[in-house]
Chain A
Amino acid sequence: MTEQDTMATPDAARDTSLEAALQSALARRAAPRRPGAISNATMFGWRALLKIKHVPEQLFDVVITPVMFTVMFTYLFGGALAGSTVDYLQFLLPGILAQTVIFTTIYTGVTLNTDISKGIYDRFKSMPIWAPSPLVGAMLGDFLRYTGSSVIVVLIGLLMGFRPEAGLSGVIWSMMLLNLFAFGIGWIFTTLGLLMRTPGTVMTISWIVLMPLTFASNVFVDPATMPGWLQSVVNANPVSHLVTAIRALMAGTANLGLLVKSLLMPAAITVIFAPLAMVLYHRPR
C-alpha cells in the first residue's frame, strides 16, 4: 500500500521515484523494542571486528612484536643463560607470552583514546543505549588481539623447539589465564585512554609503567641469581606470579593456588579502575 500520490512538481527534472523513497523512508514508524545491555555490547564488539577488517594495519604490532621478542631474546640470551637456546626457550616462552600480551593491552588505551575524540562518540553518548557498552564492546576486539598475539608467540616457539609438557590443553589454559589477566590490567589503560589528551601520551605513560613491570620480573631469568633486594621486588611483582602460573600450566603442574595468586592483582585493578573509567567516560567534557 505504498502507492503514494507523488505529484510531480512542474519544475521537476527531479526523480519522482527518489522522492517517493524519501517520503516512505521518513514516514513515522514504531520504534523497535530497546535492546538489553548484552545486545548493545555485542554490537560494539562487532564494530571492533569491522575496524580490524578495515584497518588491518592495527594488527601489525600485534604480529611483529611477539615474533621479534621471541626470536631475539632466545638467541641473544639462550646460550649465555641456559647453555642452549632450546633449553632457554622452554623457560623463556611462557614469559615472552606474558610480556607480549601485557604489551598488547596498551593498544586498548591508545585505540580508545583515538576513537573517543571522534564525533561518533557524541552520537553514542546521545543514544538510548547501555552506557558502558562502547567500552565493554571494545574489549571484545582486545580479546581478539590478545589471543592473536599469543597464538603467534606459541607458534614461533613451537617452530623453534618449544615443547609444552601439558600439550595443547596447557596452551589453551595459558591463553585463558592471559586473557583474564590482560582484561584486568586493561582497565588501567582504558582509564589512561580516557584521561589523556593524545594517543601519544597514552602510549608513553603506558610504556613507563609496563617496562619496569615486565623486566623486573622472572620473565627472562630465574630470580635466584639476583641480589636479595631485587629478588624481593621480583617476587612481589604480579607479572612474576602470572609467568609462574603459565610455566606451571604449560608443564602440567599448575594448581588453583597459583592461578588465584596470579589473578589477584588484575581483580583488584578491575575493582578500582572499572568504576573510575565509567566515571571518566561520563564526565561531561
Chain B
Amino acid sequence: MALPLAIETHQLLKKFGTNRAVDGVDLSIPQGMVYGVLGPNGAGKTTTLRMLATLLRPDGGEAHVLGHDVAREPARVRERISLTGQFASVDEDLTGLENLRLLAGLLGFRRREGRQRAEELLTAFSLTEAQNQQVKYYSGGMRRRLDIAASILVTPDLLFLDEPTTGLDPRSRNQVWDIVRALVAGGTTVLLTTQYLEEADRLAERIAVIDRGRVIAEGTSAELKASVGTSVLHLSVLSPDQREQAAGVLKDRLGVPAFREADPTALTVQLDDTARAPLALHALTEAGIPLRSFSLGQPSLDEVFMALTGRPAESDEPEKEVVV
C-alpha cells in the first residue's frame, strides 16, 4: 500500500519546565482506523494530540501526520486534519447554527452552502431544536455533538477527538460512538483519547496505553487484555451464608483466592484464562450453591494499569515528581 501512515512519531518529546509531559512517544498509526490512546489524568494525551494538531511545538523527536512533518509543514497538516479538543472548541456565546456557519465560512463555503451544510449536520446530530440557542445553554452531550459537527464540516482525512465521551451519559456516549463509526466507515482516520478501557475496546482497532508521557503498551484490545492476563468473574450467591462455602469451592477448583466484595453475596475472582469461567460455574452447581447472577468482566483500566505499571491509574499525585 502506498498510503502514508496517518500518524508516525519517533521519540516525540514535550517538556513543561522540568515536567516531561510527553517523554519519547513512538506511534505508528495506519490510515482508515480508529486508534485509541488510553491513559489516566495527566498521562500526556492532550499534549500529544496538540503537538500532532500543530498547536504545540515538540521539544524533541519527530512527528509526521499524513506524510507531513508537523514542525516543518504545519499548514499542510492543517488542511487535512480536524480537532475536537477536550474542552468545548466551539463558541459558547454563539448559537449552534452560527457556530457552524462561521466555521463553514472560514473553510470556504459560500453563504447558502454553508447554511445548508450546517443544517444538514444539525439534523443528523439531532440538534435542530437547539440550533438557535446559545451554546452555553447546551447540555454536555449536545455540546460534544456540536463540537464534532464543527470538526467535520469538511470531512477531514484525520480527526482528533480528545476524550469525546468523558462526562457524557450512556445515551449521549452511544450517539458519539455511532458518529465515530460512521466517519470511519466513510474513510476518515480517527485518533481518540480516552480514560475508559471499555471505550477503547468498543471503538478502537488498536490502542496505545500511555502513562507519564510514555507508551507502556500497544496493540489490539485483545492483545492488551491478554498481556494483562486477567478477566474478572463476578458472582453473586443467592444466600449470604453460602458465600464462604462458594469461596472455598472456587479456591479449590481454580487455585486462586476469591475476593469478598462489600455486598455480602458477592465474590470476585481474577482469571488468567477466560475459558476457566465455565469450570468455576460448573463446580458451584455441583456443590449445590445456587447463584443469583454472574458476569464475566473485562479488566478495568485500573486493573490494566495495575498489571502494566504495578500501581493504580488514579494516582493524581506523581509520587516523586519535582515540585515546581
**Bound-complex Cα distance A133 to B94 (A):** 19
- Name A17-70 residues within 8 Å CB distance of B: 18, 21-29, 31-35, 39-40, 43, 46-47, 50-51, 54-55
Q: How many residues of B contact A (CB 8 A)?
A: 51
In angstroms, how far is the closest chain B Cβ from the Cβ of A22? Answer: 5
A75 to B2, CA, bound (A): 79
CB distance from A177 to the nearest CB of B (A): 32
Known contacts A26-B186, A123-B83; is-contact A43 B179 (Cβ 8 Å): no
Of the listed stretches A114-122, A197-205, A267-275, chain B binds A114-122
Q: Which candidate, B35-43, B54-62, B264-272, B281-289, is the interface stretch facing chain A?
A: B54-62
Q: Within 8 Å of chain A (Cβ to Cβ): is B161?
A: no
Task: Say yes or no for A228: interface residue by CB 8 A criterion.
Answer: no
CB distance from A68 to the nearest CB of B (A): 27
CB nearest neighbor in A for B94:
A50
Tell me whether A18 and B108 are in contact (CB under 8 A): no
**Complex CA distance for A120 and B98, rounded to whole angstroms:** 13
A120 lies within 8 A of B90 (CB):
yes
Are A21 and B123 within 8 A (Cβ)?
Answer: yes
Contacts A54-B93, A284-B56, A285-B56 given; indicate if A25 touches B83 (C-beta within 8 A): no
Instruction: Flag if A28 contacts B155 (CB, 8 Å).
Output: yes
Q: List A contacts of B107 (CB < 8 A).
A: 31-32, 34-35, 127-129
Bound-state CA distance A111–B239 (Å) is 65
Chain A contributes a number of interface residues (CB within 8 A of B) equal to 38
The minimal Cβ–Cβ distance linking A176 to chain B, given in whole angstroms, is 28
- A24, A32, A119: the one within 8 Å of B108 (CB): A32
Is A127 a contact of B78 with CB atoms below 8 Å? yes
Instruction: Tell me which residues across on chain B come within 8 A of A54, comparing CB atoms.
Output: 93-95, 134
B117 to chain A, nearest CB (A): 9
A51: chain B residues within 8 A (beta carbon): 93-94
List of B residues within 8 angstroms of A39 by Cβ: 105, 108
The answer to whether A21 and B102 touch across the interface, beta carbons within 8 angstroms, is no
Q: Does B92 contact A (CB under 8 A)?
A: yes
User: Any chain A CB within 8 A of the CB of B187?
Assistant: yes
Partner of B89, one of A21, A27, A123, A129: A123
- Closest B-chain residue to A33, C-beta based? B108
Indicate whether B109 reaches chain A with its CB closer than 8 angstroms: yes
Interface flag for A4 (CB, 8 Å): no
CB–CB B102/A46 < 8 A: yes
Decide yes or no: A47 and B83 within 8 Å by CB, A18-B124, A25-B123, A128-B78 being known contacts. Answer: no
Complex: how many Å from CA A128 to CA B85? 17
- The reply to whether A119 and B87 contact each other, CB–CB distance below 8 Å, is yes
Q: Tell me whether B55 and A28 are in contact (CB under 8 A).
A: no
Q: Is B121 close to A, CB under 8 A?
A: yes
Q: How far is the CB of A280 from chain B (nearest CB, A)?
A: 14
Highest count of chain A CB atoms <10 Å: which of B90, B103, B106, B179: B106
Contacts of B93 in A (CB 8 A): 50-51, 54-55
Say whether, besides A18-B126, A126-B83, A129-B106, A120 and B91 are in contact (CB < 8 Å). Answer: yes
Q: In the bound complex, what is the Cα–Cα distance between A126 and B74 (angstroms)?
A: 9
Q: Is the CB of A126 within 8 A of B124?
A: no
Judge if A125 is at the interface, Cβ distance under 8 Å. Answer: yes
CA A32 to CA B54, docked complex, whole Å: 22
Residue of B nearest to A52 (CB): B93
A119/B55 contact (C-beta < 8 A), A22-B124, A28-B155, A43-B106 known: no
Cβ-neighbour of A26 out of B89, B91, B108, B155 (below 8 A): B155
- Binary interface encoding of chain A residues 166-189 relative to chain B, with 1 for a CB under 8 A from any of its CBs, else 0: 000000000000000000000000
Q: In whole Å, how far is B203's beta carbon from the nearest beta carbon of chain A?
A: 16
Taking a contact as CB atoms closer than 8 A, the residue among A31, A47, A119 that contacts B102 in the complex is A47
Q: Are A26 and B106 in contact (CB under 8 A)?
A: no
CA separation between A129 and B92, bound complex, in Å?
21
Contacts of A122 in B (CB 8 A): 50, 53, 55, 83, 85, 89
Interface string of B5-49 (1 = CB under 8 A from A): 000000000000000000000000000000000000000000000
Expressed in whole angstroms, the Cα–Cα distance for A127 and B80 within the complex equals 9
Give the chain B neighbours of A35 by CB distance below 8 A: 105-108
The residue in chain B whose Cβ has the minimal distance to the Cβ of A130 is B106
Given A35-B106, A43-B106, A122-B83, A25–B124 Cβ distance below 8 Å?
yes
A136 CB to nearest B CB, Å: 13
Q: Indicate if the CB atoms of A118 and B105 lie closer than 8 Å.
A: no
List the 3 closest pairs (A to B, CB-CB), nearest first: A25-B124, A32-B108, A123-B89
Additional 14 contacts, C-beta under 8 A, given A18-B124, A31-B108, A50-B98: A24-B120, A26-B155, A27-B155, A33-B108, A35-B107, A54-B94, A54-B134, A55-B93, A120-B88, A120-B90, A123-B89, A124-B106, A126-B82, A129-B107
Using CB atoms and an 8 Å cutoff, list the residues of chain B in contact with chain A: 50, 53-57, 75, 78-79, 81-83, 85-95, 98, 102-103, 105-110, 113, 120-121, 123-126, 134, 150-152, 154-155, 178-179, 182-183, 186-187
8 A-B residue pairs with Cβ-Cβ distance under 8 Å, sorted by A, are A26-B186, A32-B109, A39-B105, A43-B102, A43-B106, A50-B93, A125-B54, A126-B55
